[in-house]
Amino acid sequence: MDKNLVVGAGFSGAVIANLIAEKLGEKVLVIDKKEHIAGNSYDYTDENGIKIHKYGSHIFHTNSEKVWSYFKKFGDLNTYMHRVIAVIDGIETTIPFNLNTLYDVFPETLAKRLEEKLLKSFEYNKKVPILEFQKQADADLKFLAQYVYEKVFLHYTNKQWGTSPEDVDGAVTARVPVYISCDDRYFQDKYQGIPTCGYTRVVEKMLKHPNIEVKLNTDYKVVKGDFKRIFYTGSIDEFFDYKFGMLPYRSVNFKLELHNHPYYQSNAVVNYPCNYDFTRIHEYKYYLNDISEKTVIAKEYSEAFELGKNERYYPIPKDENIELYNKYLEEAKKLENVYFLGRLGDYKYYNMDQAIGRAIELFEEVCQ
Ligand code: FAD
Ligand code: UDP
């Protein structure tokens, strides 16, 4: 009985399976209920030669040397650095709201005055979460804070989470801070890029090992047999048959459109905080500079997760949800040789590098 079971073939499952197969030389069965590997990071090349990120734009970024060197073993990355354009009152500007943004949206004299006041009040390069940025005494900065809150965060957050910025965990909106800097990139991590072979291929290489067997279209519920260890990257409440109630998630609906001209918009991602019902539009050909006379975009609509209707995308970090998750975690601790990980298993808003880092750490903790 030296076989391991890994439930889920996203990054969390693929990394732990790869390490067990490679470093321990043990057998691993990896199952996924979807018809493909790579979980939410899945991408594919369409008939126009455009690499589509099926579940929305995925940009790899990390400050972790360990995660970066591990990831690179499975594929080269380009030097793409992500920028996000937001349309504010019809004007295209970059977010996070930064010093350049001031000059895009305000008359020059006002922008200059605000910039000077910001530089007096905050250290250069400081990232200020919007909920903290609102605590301003100066009248001009108060005006600016209200402007950013209303034009960037309020409506977008309502669309994305179905609630106002005050009612989502501060860490969520802090992902896109007000940035006292001229750096207009979305991420400041040392390492960033898109794997030139695509994410699916990276995961495929992680799983390509004589000790690993992959079964798709296979739900955990139908798997029989004894396993030395089980690593579960599905939703922890589902594992326990929702005995304490269901963990809430947000889901997303991506509406793809094919356009018969080379480009649709000026950037890979354009956010529409205040307009329309979708939050953002992705145009995929930018990531790997795919050459095509056509282009594919996806409009992203956020909605509540409903079992049987749509998929789980985002855990909702909120006190009452964490409390519920902790009840499941206590149950999990009672089990022998069953481990939970990943965005769904840990109920944490992980980026890919964090999911990979967590899988590596769990392997080191449990298997070494
Ligand atoms: P998942 O990828 O969700 O994989 C879990 C797998 O388990 C799934 O394939 C599922 O089918 C399977 N599964 C679940 N239950 C069962 C069961 N009972 N039986 C069998 N199989 C099961 N991260 C970044 O770093 N950069 C980005 O730009 C970025 N953009 C994102 C955009 C969106 C819209 C979303 C939703 C996420 C984004 N992420 C991004 C986060 C990234 O998708 C996650 O960090 C990553 O997918 C986590 O991998 P995972 O393996 O934990 O989970
Ligand atoms: N956000 C916002 N306006 C924007 C971009 C982000 O209000 O134009 C808020 C929103 O609440 C969002 C959060 O910041 O959910 C995190 O944004 P991020 O782009 O990191 O979300 P993800 O890419 O994970 O969906």
154-212 tens-digit pLDDT: 999 999 999 999 999 999 999 999 999 999 999 999 999 999 999 999 999 999 999 99
9 pLDDT exceeds 80? Answer: yes
Answer whether residue 60 shows pLDDT above 70.
yes
Q: Which domains does the chain have, with CATH numbers?
A: 3-78+194-247+315-366 (3.40.50.720), 84-180 (no CATH)
- What pLDDT was estimated at residue 158? 97
CA dihedral for 306, 51, 8, 359, sign (positive or negative): negative
The pLDDT value recorded for residue 202 is 98
Instruction: Please give the number of the atom of ligand 1 that sits closest to the Cα of 11.
Output: 51
Residue-wise pLDDT tens digits, 14-58? 999 999 999 999 999 999 999 999 999 999 999 999 999 999 999
> Which pLDDT does position 367 carry in this prediction?
87
What CA–CA distance (Å, rounded) separates 203 from 307?
A: 27
Mean pLDDT value across residues 275-304: 98
Ligand 1: lining residues by beta carbon, under 6 Å: 7-13, 31-34, 39-41, 55-60, 219-220, 233-234, 252, 313-314, 342-344, 350-353, 355
Residue 297 pLDDT grade (very low, low, confident, very high; cuts 50, 70, 90)? very high
pLDDT of residue 114: 98
pTM of the model: 0.97
Q: Binning pLDDT at 50, 70 and 90, where does residue 225 land?
A: confident
Report how far residue 267's alpha carbon sits from residue 110's, in angstroms, rounded to the nearest whole number: 27
Each residue's pLDDT tens digit, 63-99:
999 999 999 999 999 999 999 999 999 999 999 999 9
For residues 152 and 95, is the Cβ–Cβ distance under 8 A? yes
Query: Does the pLDDT of residue 292 top 80, yes or no?
Result: yes
Q: Under a CB-based contact definition with an 8 Å cutoff, are residues 2 and 26 in contact? A: yes
Confidence of residue 1 (pLDDT cuts 50, 70, 90): low
pLDDT score recorded for residue 2? 78
Query: What pLDDT is attached to residue 250?
Result: 97
Pocket of ligand 2 (CB under 6 A): 86, 95, 152-153, 156-157, 160, 172-173, 175-176, 271, 273
